[in-house]
Amino acid sequence: MKNKIKVYRAMHDLSQEALAQKMGVTRQTILAIEHGKYDPSLILAAKIAKLFNVRIDDVFLLDTLEE
């Protein structure tokens, strides 16, 4: 899943480590999410969006399904 976490982190002057601490996860988890290697749970996605004061779909972009 594509996302804009890095953009929002920069806007809020947060490092991966700082965001991870606020979310209760490891820096490696934030790194994996940013690189699209791990999709966060709905709860974690909601917490991240709430921290940045935006909607979940402002941060996380669903890939379009091709049939």
- CATH of residue 44's domain is 1.10.260.40
Based on the number of CB atoms within 10 Å of its own CB, is 19 exposed (0-12), middle (13-18) or buried (19 or more)? buried
Relative to beta strand 60-61, strand 2-3 is antiparallel
In a domain? residue 33: yes
In a domain? residue 62: no
Which pLDDT tens digit goes with each residue over 6-62? 999 999 999 999 999 999 999 999 999 999 999 999 999 999 999 999 999 999 997
Interior CA angle at 34 toward 28 and 38, to 5°? Answer: 70
Q: Which domain holds residue 32?
A: 2-56
Number of domain units in the chain: 1
Place of tokens 């976490």: 5
In a domain? residue 67: no
In a domain? residue 19: yes
In a domain? residue 46: yes
Whole-number CA gyration radius for the chain:
11
In a domain? residue 43: yes
Model's pTM, two decimal places?
0.88
